[in-house]
Amino acid sequence: MCDTVVATREATVDGSVILAKNSDREPNEVQLLHHIPASSFANPGDLQCTYLKIPQAARTAEALLSRPAWMWGCEMGANAAGLCIGNEAVFTREPYAKTGLTGMDLLRLAVERTSRASDALALITELIGRYGQGGNCGYKGKLYYHNSFIIADKKEAWVLETAGRHWAAQKVRGVQSISNGLT
């Protein structure tokens, strides 16, 4: 199982926010640490995510990502502003879409395009509403799922849980964790 945990300022001795994540991707699936410099695009055009093309942002933030080598998106990432996000697969009775933005695409887009946890939450939910989430996330086989996220910056953290185009969010006070089921 994958797990992500966050401790907010209320729960740490020094008032810092701490996010940690582990991963249980398939055996032999290469996981890359990928540094992305900040960029500006005069004529942004389209951006190819794992399965969909969407409009490119005019500016993107410097980021460090941990991602499966074959996917555009990432399982966890942090940007130069201190925004950190981890995601988990969640399995529900809601149907899984054959195409859409993967949870890893949503995470990377938020890390590259926002600097605060609340803005990342707003962007991910807006993108789910516009493009939906979906697509095969299995390395060798077929694996479809929905996603949950912990989104944290230097001041606050949120848990975001999704199923299809539905979502629920809760602000974290203290310590919170997510795994492969809805909380």
Provide the annotated active-site residues.
2
Strand partners, 20: 5
Distance CA 81, CA 115 (A): 5
Phi–psi pair at 125, nearest 5 degrees: -70, -35
CB 22 within 8 A of CB 77: no
- Contacts of 152 by beta carbon, 8 Å cutoff, 6+ apart: 6, 8, 17, 19, 83, 84, 85, 117, 158, 172
3-class SS shares of the chain: helix, strand, coil, % to 5? 15, 40, 45
Distance CA 128, CA 136 (A): 16
Distance CA 85, CA 116 (A): 11
Distance CA 145, CA 149 (A): 13
